[in-house]
């Protein structure tokens, strides 16, 4: 017991605490995810956030102290998003044939996602900066933060909305697609990547390679289209 206390005291005062907590939590949650057959409700991202949040509250650890170590994992988010392009590369010839249709679908889906989020924010009387932070919720978190900063939103809040959106899509997509009668894996993957970015694309890739490939291209298209068009649209609206 004394050894454990000494280890805790050491870890809690160094960046190793955040890094160790993140890795151990994810490994345990991932093992549980495998044990239940990769069920959507056992999404590792969701439960990792819950567990780490509880640990920080129980130990009264400030978030900056935790992030001092967790940032070493955070920097891998970019390469992880890029890695989603591998299934896409394997189907590059098929993608070329459908290029125009995919761009139009991504533009329509992304526009609907952003417009509905803004409309909901306005309907509930949210402050302007919160509404602007909601707009890029269907874009992967790092890009959503950059867009929010450009359009007058709050980057940290945009990241929270993006993560919540991704989790919601990963958890509910299968039941929603089944209810709507969508059986084509390409359609499922593209829709999930369009609305739920990296978290949704990762879930699609777990379920089916074709779904993962189309989720990856939807994710990439959303990043490009949102980064180019969303700031322009908000500037035009602002006059």
**Same domain flag for 97 and 28:** no
| Averaged pLDDT, 184-192 | 91
Per-residue pLDDT for 78 more than 80? no
Residues 90 and 47 in one domain: no
Asked if residue 210 and residue 94 are part of one domain, the reply reads yes
Where a domain ends, among 45, 75, 105? 75
User: Domain tally for the chain?
Assistant: 2
Q: Both 110 and 201 in a single domain? A: yes
Residue 71 has pLDDT above 80, yes or no: no
Mean pLDDT of 76-104: 75
- pTM equals 0.74
pLDDT at res. 7:
52
Co-location of 89 and 52 in the same domain: no
Q: Give yes or no: residues 86 and 68 share one domain.
A: no
Are 91 and 200 in the same domain? Answer: yes
Query: Do 87 and 55 share a structural domain?
Result: no
Shared-domain flag, residues 159 and 104 = yes
Q: 37 falls in which pLDDT band (50, 70, 90)?
A: confident
pLDDT at 44: 82
Boundary residue ending a domain (55, 75, 95):
75
Residues 191-214 pLDDT 10s: 999 988 888 888 888 888 888 888
Query: Do 209 and 119 belong together in one domain?
Result: yes
Q: pLDDT class for 119, splitting at 50, 70, 90?
A: very high
**Cα–Cα distance for residue pair 147/142, rounded to 1 Å:** 9
Residues 127 and 68 in one domain: no
Last residue of a domain, one of 18, 45, 75: 75
What confidence tier does 81 reach under pLDDT thresholds 50, 70, 90? low
For residue 176, pLDDT beyond 80: yes
**Domain residue limits at 33:** 2-75
Between 3 and 201, the more confident residue is 201
Q: Are residues 51 and 158 both part of a single domain?
A: no
């Amino acid at each position: 017991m004394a050894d454990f206390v000494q280890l805790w005291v050491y870890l809690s005062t160094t960046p190793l605490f955040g890094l160790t907590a993140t890795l151990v939590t994810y490994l345990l949650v991932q093992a549980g995810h495998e044990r239940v057959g990769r069920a959507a409700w056992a999404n590792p991202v969701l439960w990792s956030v819950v567990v780490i949040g509880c640990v920080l509250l129980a130990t009264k650890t400030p978030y900056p102290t935790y992030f001092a170590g967790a940032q070493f994992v955070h920097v891998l988010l970019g390469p992880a998003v890029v890695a989603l392009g591998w299934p896409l590369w394997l189907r590059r010839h098929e993608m070329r044939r459908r290029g125009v249709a995919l761009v139009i679908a991504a533009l329509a889906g992304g526009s609907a996602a952003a417009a509905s989020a803004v409309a909901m924010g306005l309907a509930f009387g949210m402050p302007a900066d919160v509404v602007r932070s909601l707009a890029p919720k269907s874009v992967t978190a790092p890009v959503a933060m950059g867009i929010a900063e450009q359009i007058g939103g709050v980057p940290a809040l945009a990241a929270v909305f993006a993560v919540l959106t991704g989790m919601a899509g990963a958890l509910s997509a299968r039941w929603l697609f089944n209810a709507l009668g969508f059986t084509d894996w390409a359609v499922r993957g593209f829709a999930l990547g369009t609305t739920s970015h990296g978290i949704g694309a990762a879930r699609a890739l777990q379920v089916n390679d074709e779904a993962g490939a189309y989720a990856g291209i939807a994710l990439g298209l959303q990043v490009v289209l949102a980064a180019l068009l969303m700031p322009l649209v908000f500037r035009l609206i602002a006059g």
